[in-house]
């Protein structure tokens, strides 16, 4: 009778799950680049928080990591590197093209978001903090197409999207008019 000896240097014997979720749903939050850009502009950046939240929820559910999605989403300029890095790692495991430049893109998100603290009219540049997220969303969409081709691409606009876009477009217009009009 042979007894098992504990070897701390042995490789783990547990089975490792694949990156793709078993249910056939998207690995990360799918959204078309056009919808992402329009909703980010019209909601004055609030859609970026929503996008970040949805992606962190996907990290929780599909990758099995314990993260606080609401807090990470609220501070998305600070946590974007961590999210972008996870997306890059999953794209690498799926053998998708070139690697995502997570560091420079996250730095660009942080810097563009910080521009909101500038005086009139320079703060307007912060509205474009979504631009560095577009390559990330392209990688997400490509990853989802490869690993979950039957998943919804989220390219169409729902009634809530249209309402948010309409209200946000009016508020954006009024903010721009108020910025450039004298007293």
* Mean of the per-residue pLDDT values of the chain: 88
* 157 vs 98, higher pLDDT: 157
**pLDDT on residue 123:** 86
Q: How far apart are CA 131 and CA 50, in angstroms?
A: 16
pTM beyond cutoff 0.95: no
pLDDT tens figures, 78-136: 999 999 999 999 999 988 877 889 999 999 999 999 998 888 888 889 999 999 999 99
pLDDT tens figures, 49-85: 999 999 999 999 999 999 999 999 999 999 999 999 9
The candidate with the shortest Cα–Cα distance to 153, out of 138, 141, 139, 143, is 141
Q: What are phi and psi of 10, to 5 degrees?
A: -75, 150
Around 127, how many Cα atoms within 13 Å sit in the side-chain half-sphere?
19
Asked if 52 and 72 count as a contact pair (C-beta separation under 8 A), the reply is yes
């Amino acid at each position: 009778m042979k007894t098992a000896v504990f070897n701390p240097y042995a490789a783990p014997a547990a089975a490792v799950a694949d990156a793709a979720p078993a249910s056939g749903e998207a690995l990360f939050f799918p959204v078309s680049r056009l919808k992402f850009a329009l909703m980010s502009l019209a909601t004055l950046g609030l859609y970026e928080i929503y996008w970040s939240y949805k992606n962190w929820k996907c990290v929780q559910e599909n990758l099995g990591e314990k993260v606080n999605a609401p807090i990470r989403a609220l501070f998305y300029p600070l946590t974007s590197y961590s999210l972008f890095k996870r997306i890059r790692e999953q794209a690498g495991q799926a053998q998708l093209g070139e690697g995502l430049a997570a560091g420079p893109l996250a730095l660009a998100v942080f810097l563009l978001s910080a521009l909101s603290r500038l005086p009139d009219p320079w703060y307007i540049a912060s509205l474009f903090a979504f631009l560095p997220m577009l390559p990330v969303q392209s990688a997400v969409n490509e990853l989802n197409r490869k690993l979950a081709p039957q998943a919804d691409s989220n390219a169409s606009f729902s009634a809530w999207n249209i309402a948010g876009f309409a209200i946000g477009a009016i508020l954006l217009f009024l903010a721009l008019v108020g910025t450039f009009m004298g007293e």
